[in-house]
Amino acid sequence: MFENPALHDLISINDSIFLESSSDFIVVHGQEPRSIKLVDSEASTCIPNISFVQGPANFIPSPDDRIHNFCWSTIVGKEVKVDSSKFQLLRSFPTPLDIVVNVMLSNRHSVTINLHVDYKISSSSPNFLLQQKDPIAQLHNAIIIDGQSIGNSVAVESVREWQQSHLSDIFSNLESYSTLKKTANDCGLEIWSICLTGQSLSHDLKHSLTSESVLTEELRSEMNEIKQRKELKLLEQVEKIEAVEAEIQLKRMKIEADDQLDKDMHGVKLAALKRRAEVEVFEEKTAIERTKMKDEMVLHLLEKVKAMDVDMTQLLSSSKGAEYLNIHKRALHS
């Protein structure tokens, strides 16, 4: 085309708009409506003077088309900064957004949380984006509101080191951010996920937890010392009881040994008495037998003397006869 001053005010050459994939699209304002399939949607729409062009495509606008320029804020730490740069290309896949929020807890202490938010263009209503001046700033305000609501329900005990997982579960639960979800839906966005990536305590809260930790450690140390003293005292008592029980057991064993010794000695004495009685009986029987034998022998002697026609009266009454008999008796005794 050549510029004709009678027909044209200006002719310029511009680059076409390259949409790499199906997740890329642009918003086109034109004189005539176009029927374009919405992003990630099976249905087609016809919006007067507005078209959503989805890739992959190499789009060349007509002279009457105007590509919509977006100007959204950026978030740096806790601050929302207005970005003067403009962009035309939108992407429907999740886009990261890192936000730092100061949250007041139920005990008036504060904790600074770092949130990682993934959002994407809603497939059902991308045209809502055209009605919002700055969706990112609105999302930031919504997160501040929801964060404060969550903080009111969080006690300082949940911030302790041993409950970090519990704190993460609270701030990483997408259902806790009702205001954020509603604001995103009104802006034509969808919150894909939210995650707590870090937190830092305020100076007062950190000092309070440190003091409490020191006090807890001192109490724990004191309790351990008391427990050790009790255990030592209990050990001493157990040792004393064991010593007493050992002494009692020793005395019991001594008594039992003495009783057994007495029984054994009694048995020995009874056996000795029994043997002595048997000996005495035996000796008595022996003496009787011996006396009987002596008497029989004397009687036999006398019978022999009598058989010799000796006068027994004269023999026994005479001194020589008595001496004779005594000699024979001693012989018998020997």
Mean pLDDT by groups of 10 residues along the chain of 334 residues: 89 87 83 50 52 84 83 76 76 84 73 86 65 81 87 65 65 87 85 84 59 68 86 89 90 88 87 87 86 78 72 66 62 55
What integer pLDDT is reported at residue 25 of this predicted model?
Answer: 82
CA distance 53 to 272: 132
What integer pLDDT is reported at residue 287 of this predicted model?
Answer: 84
What integer pLDDT is reported at residue 84 of this predicted model?
Answer: 62
What is the pTM assigned to this prediction? 0.53
Q: Which residue type sits at 77?
A: G
What integer pLDDT is reported at residue 6 of this predicted model?
Answer: 92
What integer pLDDT is reported at residue 294 of this predicted model?
Answer: 77
The answer to the question of residue 260 being in a domain is no
Q: Which residue type sits at 260?
A: Q
Asked if 74 and 135 touch (Cβ cutoff 8 Å), the reply is no
Same-domain check for residues 30 and 103 = no
What integer pLDDT is reported at residue 42 of this predicted model?
Answer: 44
Side-chain half-sphere of 255: how many Cα atoms within 13 Å? 6
Same-domain check for residues 151 and 190 = yes
Count: domains in the chain: 3
Range of the domain at 308: 287-333
The answer to the question of residue 108 being in a domain is yes
The answer to the question of residue 111 being in a domain is yes
The answer to the question of residue 150 being in a domain is yes
Same-domain check for residues 61 and 106 = no
Question: Mapped to the 3 state alphabet, what secondary structure does 10-72 carry?
Answer: CCCCCCCEEECCCCEEEEEECCCCCEEECCCCCCEEEECCEEEEECCEEECCCCCCEECCECC
Same-domain check for residues 131 and 179 = yes
Same-domain check for residues 24 and 99 = no
Same-domain check for residues 51 and 135 = no
CA distance 149 to 175: 12
Asked if 155 and 97 touch (Cβ cutoff 8 Å), the reply is no
Helix axes 319-333, 203-307, angle to 10 degrees: 140
Same-domain check for residues 39 and 131 = no
The CATH number given to whatever domain includes residue 188 is 3.30.479.30
Tokens of 46: 């016809």
Tokens of 180: 């954020």
